[in-house]
Structure 1
């Protein structure tokens, strides 16, 4: 279950924090799935027009069991802003939902928009593009990534709602 939060309230409370502590992602990402608000610890993938590591991530467990309960994670994908190939489609989106991911943020494209729309997870990406990737087993995982000029590190927390997305070095809610 997603904790209650407001990205506006988080910005009000942390607007003067150092950039290594709190950052706001630019308002260029669109919603592509049913869950409009989501948050969780970040897992990262860096890839360019090759979704091999995206597939591996969404097919793995998307949550952590802790003493405080189950915490769903957010997959953040640095696709270098490519608008030429889709890094996520209906099958991989369904796998992410089935495996308990809170959401995905993709600096790139998705496809199968009709299949993604009803999924119970958050999906934010730049645009839709029907052309899939060629899987060439390239990319990096669990590394700092950059989305539209904003750095995001593995283990940080991402909060997304109707007003936008913020990243924090620590859990805020």
Structure 2
């Protein structure tokens, strides 16, 4: 995968930049893939379901409303992403078990950490356009993420 700086050099007019508000967790510091979305609020049931069902190589983008009052992912859900060979996860919310996750071969971008777990009501929406971090996240479009930032593109770019 090309790093985001290189992608910007070649495809400047074809990418959108998300605000740099995320921390990077896991051993995978860069990833790219097609976007699959989930919108939830302090409830991770649909996050788990998406991790179990979206295609291998995908990036799960979770809009948790920016809440930092609980975690939407911990080491158990990160293990699902690892086992299913997902490209990565971007969460507009928090994770927990960061020490364990940082030892795993996964790539997760999140707003921070919180030791509290989420509720389990199963409320939310799947596969819908999202808007957070001053960017539009659309199912089927592509995301490129690394330690320099997160880029979004309408389609897969030549790398």
Please say if 1:35 is aligned against 2:35: no
Runs of 5+ consecutive residues of structure 2 not aligned to the other structure: none
Counterpart Cα distance in 2 of 1:120 and 1:36: 9
TM-superposed deviation, 1:14: 2.9
Runs of 5+ consecutive residues of structure 1 not aligned to the other structure: 64-71
TM score, norm. by length of structure 2: 0.94
The answer to whether the 8 Å contact 1:73/1:103 transfers is yes
More helix by share: 2
TM-superposed deviation, 1:61: 5.1
Please say if 1:97 is aligned against 2:82: yes
The answer to whether the 8 Å contact 2:24/2:147 transfers is no
Please say if 1:60 is aligned against 2:53: yes
TM score, norm. by length of structure 1: 0.87
CA RMSD of aligned residues (A): 1.2
Aligned length: 158
Question: Which of 133, 140, 156 matches 2:118?
Answer: 133
2:12 corresponds to: 15
Partner SS, residue 40 of structure 1: strand
**Cα 1:115/1:94, change in 2 over 3 Å:** same
Partner SS, residue 158 of structure 1: strand
Partner SS, residue 13 of structure 2: coil
Structure 1's consecutive aligned runs of 4 or more residues displaced over 4 angstroms after TM superposition are: none
The answer to whether the 8 Å contact 1:62/1:102 transfers is no
1:124 corresponds to: 109
Question: Which of 54, 64, 83 matches 1:79?
Answer: 64
